[in-house]
Structure 1
């Protein structure tokens, strides 16, 4: 599956603020940057920084400065200040509200073996977002059905269709007795809004969190038994959503774009045989702080399951290994599965991976 990368890297310039470098949407993570050597002849205590290009009231800092050390070096607190200004950061996402809305039925679809299928809509940022909802047949348990917020990977928005692709994946959870909701992120299918990508812009993540909030309003859903399934870009969206919403109790991530941002910036295959960029320490510190991986300890023991094939040509298998190392360092619960020779969609082990994912949710929701 092709991926859409629209990733902005802030490049700090000691003593001179920072530089915005925007990645073209059709390129993998690649970081052209400029740096300047700080002058030690005039020690500084503050560095003036331009405001965020898209500030919001929740994210705008009280003053436009960051603290530096005696020789102008950027402190950890200063980096956190810059990170908090980015709408995609965990801090900024946590500052927003996710009211969701009632799930309104748009049309009924052919039912599955033991569940109904409907196209529904909900509200996200004032936009009408469409989604595919499945609900088990029969009387719900006393506290409602367990639920999976289902997050698809990158599909060109103009080619995306609500009822195409991921049918077998969603069906596996629906047949196992889970409510599932697969959102058509903004700009996809009939959903309103602009498709701006899942890495640099917060929109898709906001849609996922409002999908979860909308499910919580449904009396058929047990809001204490909610999980996430995400593939590729959907893995990144699921990780962010889990770090924002503590009600999301577990996540199964397939071939997820879940390595830390500094790894994504340097190790996502450069196009045309170009050399991989090398980050200086300052840029690496900034990208690590911006990454969701910097907050993994705040999962507070909520488990994650990982699946990836070693022959994945879209997302390097090393991303799963890097993410597993981050989870280990954060002392979080996870299980990682490796599928030798399999591709981005786990085509050769689809049944096995789905059974493992279903069992994971049975054990953890």
Structure 2
């Protein structure tokens, strides 16, 4: 792959990205616009997807959200679903203008939290050719109820308390109150099911860290991509992990059912299994087959 570092503005903040192409002379390529999920950077475990897409003849435009990774934005590690949707729309607009990209052939690719973000972005943009959502978080309220299911109501109350402290600190101009993005059962963190710590941490690149501003605990239940699903009329691949502890499979299936042109695939694995081994290989095969079908890209 040829890697070209780029940057683009999103609501006044500079976001950074890398354009991956099969070779230096490629022009007018169909393009996959890609970013990672909750608190992670595009360098965190997504290389197999980038490589597979480039090998198949696609360009990949992979970016980091503001406040994360190589992108600018202070304070660091502050996750706002609304701002991240805006970053998706800014990345999409920028990618469409690139010489090596055919702006009329764009796929939005998201995984985990970004699997829901791409649904909202596609609905708001209205002109992408297709979307891919891998193990997507389609309903933040359902995810919160899932946390209560495996960790108990006290964990939800702990998250709310630390979220309140974070908002108060930032409102007073102080540094955020941080909590772990992923932890072990019983620890304080946004994701603490049995497979979260061991699944999340190995994905982290050098420019990623395992913590996030605690105020996001207020935002997650309000972020419900399923409400936008019916507006995504382009072909959409929704890949559901049936043993998902992070992004409830039922919520993803319900969201996909609202999409007029959704193709749903189920995998008998957990949320983080899809980033390794045979589950990863199968997910990539299914994505390439989806993209290669007539009328997609």
TM-score where L is the length of structure 2: 0.68
Alignment pair present for 1:313 and 2:245: yes
Aligned match of 1:132: 18
Judging changes above 3 Å, is the alpha-carbon distance between structure 1 residues 180 and 297 closer, same or farther for their aligned structure 2 residues?
Answer: same
Q: 5 Å matches for 1:1-365? A: 115-137=1-23, 139-140=25-26, 144-155=28-39, 160=41, 163-194=43-74, 195-199=77-81, 202-259=82-139, 262-270=141-149, 272-274=151-153, 291-299=224-232, 301-327=233-259, 332-346=260-274, 347=276, 348-363=278-293, 364-365=296-297
What's the offset of the Cα at 1:116?
Answer: 0.4
Judging changes above 3 Å, is the alpha-carbon distance between structure 1 residues 269 and 228 closer, same or farther for their aligned structure 2 residues?
Answer: farther
What's the offset of the Cα at 1:137?
Answer: 1.5
Structure 1 or 2: larger helix share?
Answer: 2
Report the Cα distance in structure 2 between the residues aligned to 1:136 and 1:215, rounded to whole angstroms.
16
Judging changes above 3 Å, is the alpha-carbon distance between structure 1 residues 357 and 198 closer, same or farther for their aligned structure 2 residues?
Answer: farther
Report the Cα distance in structure 2 between the residues aligned to 1:276 and 1:322, rounded to whole angstroms.
26
Name the Cα RMSD after superposition: 2.7
Higher relative contact order (CA 8 A, sep 6+): 2
Report the Cα distance in structure 2 between the residues aligned to 1:149 and 1:255, rounded to whole angstroms.
17
Q: Deviations over 1:87-142 (max 9, x none)?
A: xxxxxxxxxxxxxxxxxxxxxxxxxxxx301322111111111112202216546x
Q: Is the 8 A contact 1:252 1:305 kept in 2?
A: yes
Report the Cα distance in structure 1 between the residues aligned to 2:144 and 2:35, rounded to whole angstroms.
23
Q: Deviations over 1:215-234 (max 9, x none)?
A: 11112211111011100111
Q: Is the 8 A contact 1:151 1:237 kept in 2?
A: no
Report the Cα distance in structure 2 between the residues aligned to 1:232 and 1:272, rounded to whole angstroms.
20
Judging changes above 3 Å, is the alpha-carbon distance between structure 1 residues 275 and 336 closer, same or farther for their aligned structure 2 residues?
Answer: farther
Judging changes above 3 Å, is the alpha-carbon distance between structure 1 residues 294 and 190 closer, same or farther for their aligned structure 2 residues?
Answer: closer
Q: Is the 8 A contact 2:108 2:132 kept in 1?
A: yes
Report the Cα distance in structure 1 between the residues aligned to 2:223 and 2:37, rounded to whole angstroms.
21
What's the offset of the Cα at 1:235?
Answer: 0.9
Report the Cα distance in structure 2 between the residues aligned to 1:262 and 1:248, rounded to whole angstroms.
27
What's the offset of the Cα at 1:292?
Answer: 3.8
Where do 5+ consecutive residues of structure 2 fail to align?
157-219
Q: In terms of Rg, which structure is larger? A: 1
What's the offset of the Cα at 1:324?
Answer: 2.6
Where do 5+ consecutive residues of structure 1 fail to align?
1-114, 278-286
Q: Secondary structure at the match of 2:129?
A: strand
Judging changes above 3 Å, is the alpha-carbon distance between structure 1 residues 265 and 349 closer, same or farther for their aligned structure 2 residues?
Answer: closer
Report the Cα distance in structure 2 between the residues aligned to 1:266 and 1:119, rounded to whole angstroms.
40
Q: Is the 8 A contact 1:198 1:233 kept in 2?
A: no
